[in-house]
Amino acid sequence: MIVRERFEQELKDVQAQFITIANRSIDALKTAFTALIEQDLEKALKILEDDLDINRLEEEINDQVILMIAKQQPVATDLRRLMVLVKAASDMERVGDYAVNIAKEAIRIGKEPIVFPLTNLQTMCDKTVEMLENIIKAFTEENTVRAKEIAELDDYVDDLYGATIVLLLRAGIDNPAHISQITHLTFICRYLERSADHATNIAEHLFYLIKGKHYELNN
């Protein structure tokens, strides 16, 4: 196999690893929120265990990219592609971390009856998952138009986050006996909002890959 063919094959392998870590992290986020809704502590604990695999996948991507740079000495365009994959993998690993954080909050709440309506949080989770799934597809297809549309959805999540935090704060004032649980739900709300931010980050990475310039798609 000639050098270029070897490089392209290794690049495909790294891209496949990225899709794997993306899918694993998105599934973890969905499962963690389901664990909260169902108050399923075993499901929440499984998220903590599975995060080790997500972390390992990110490390493998980093190691493989370093080896490719050292061995193949890629040209500028190829190097940019590798760096973007490393950054995007890091974003998805962080989503996995937020899934772990949500699972931990679900464990802390335990079987205590939920005192705050989870409708807004469910909507935030659904929208965040939609953004992440769609940005991975746009990233794979190198579709910057679609990526920009997805990044713009972050405003919706941000607005819902702000409104929900206000409601949670009021609930804490009105129900001081339940302040601990409301605090846990406040953290979960924050973790969902941050996960959506990583979808925007990946959109920006894609723009850098295609355009060779850094863009801020959502200020």
Alpha helices, DSSP H, located in the chain: 3-38, 41-72, 76-109, 119-141, 144-152, 154-174, 179-211
Q: Is 200 inside any structural domain?
A: yes
Tokens 């409301």, residue?
Answer: 182
Mean pLDDT of the chain: 93
pLDDT over 60 (residue 163): yes
Task: For residue range 75-105, list pLDDT tens digits in order.
Answer: 888 889 999 999 999 999 999 999 999 999 9
Residue keyed to tokens 């989770």: 125
Does a structural domain hold residue 15? Answer: yes
pTM: 0.94
Residue-range definition of the domain harbouring residue 45: 1-211
Q: Work out how many domains the chain is built from and give that number.
A: 1
Residue 217 lies in a domain: no
* 204 within domain boundaries: yes
Q: Residue 104: give its domain's CATH number.
A: 1.20.58.220
Q: Does any domain span residue 127?
A: yes
